[in-house]
C-alpha cells in the first residue's frame, strides 16, 4: 500500500449526553469538523461528518469504520494527554464527486496519527442544565490515506 498524507486542523463538536449514569458526566462527540489540506495547499474545504472525508477539489468522499484506536491511557508513550485518539479506519463506502472526481475512492485505510488536543472539556458537564450544551474543541492531526497497489 502506498500512503498519501494530509494535515488536519479542526474542532470536535462535543455535546453533553443525558445517557445513564448522568453522574459520570458523559460527553459525546457528535460531529468532528476538520479541514484537510495536502502539504503546501491552502485550498482545502471542511470535510463532511467524520469518519467521512471529502476531497477539497473533486468532492470525492469516503466513509470509514474504526478498527483500531490508541489513547493517552492505552499508549502514553505515543499519544499525548489531552489529545484525541490515534485511529485506524477501514474504508466502508466511497462516492465519486458530482463531476466524476475519484481522488479518494481508491482509499482502503486511513490512519490518524500525531494528534494534539481535541479531548472534550471536563467542566460544564456536571448539572442537568448542561444537557445538550455543545462546544468546539480544537485539534490538529496527521492523516495517512492508503490504497491497494
Angstrom distance (rounded) from CA 109 to CA 49: 17
Strand partners, 141: 8
- CA distances from residue 100 to 19, 49, 110 in whole angstroms, order as listed: 42, 21, 22
Q: What's the pLDDT tens digit per position in 18-39?
A: 544 433 333 444 344 444 444 4
pTM equals 0.67
What number is the average pLDDT over the span 50-63? 80
Q: What's the pLDDT tens digit per position in 115-138?
A: 888 887 777 766 777 777 777 778
Q: What's the pLDDT tens digit per position in 68-89?
A: 999 999 999 999 998 989 999 9
If one compares 5 and 27, the residue with the highest pLDDT of the two is 5
What pLDDT does residue 134 have? Answer: 75
Amino acid at each position: 500500500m502506498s500512503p498519501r498524507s494530509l494535515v488536519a486542523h479542526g474542532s470536535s463538536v462535543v455535546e453533553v449526553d443525558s445517557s445513564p449514569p448522568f453522574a459520570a458526566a458523559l460527553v459525546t462527540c457528535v460531529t468532528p469538523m476538520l479541514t484537510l489540506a495536502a502539504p503546501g495547499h491552502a485550498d482545502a474545504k471542511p470535510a463532511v461528518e467524520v469518519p467521512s472525508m471529502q476531497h477539497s477539489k473533486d468532492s470525492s468522499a469516503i466513509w470509514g469504520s474504526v478498527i483500531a484506536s490508541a489513547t493517552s491511557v492505552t499508549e502514553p508513550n505515543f499519544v499525548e494527554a489531552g489529545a484525541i485518539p490515534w485511529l485506524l479506519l477501514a474504508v466502508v463506502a466511497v462516492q465519486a464527486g458530482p463531476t466524476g472526481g475519484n481522488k479518494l475512492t481508491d482509499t482502503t485505510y486511513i490512519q490518524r496519527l500525531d494528534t494534539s488536543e481535541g479531548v472534550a472539556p471536563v467542566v460544564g458537564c456536571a448539572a442537568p442544565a448542561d444537557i445538550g450544551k455543545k462546544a468546539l474543541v480544537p485539534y490538529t492531526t496527521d492523516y495517512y490515506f492508503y490504497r491497494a497497489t
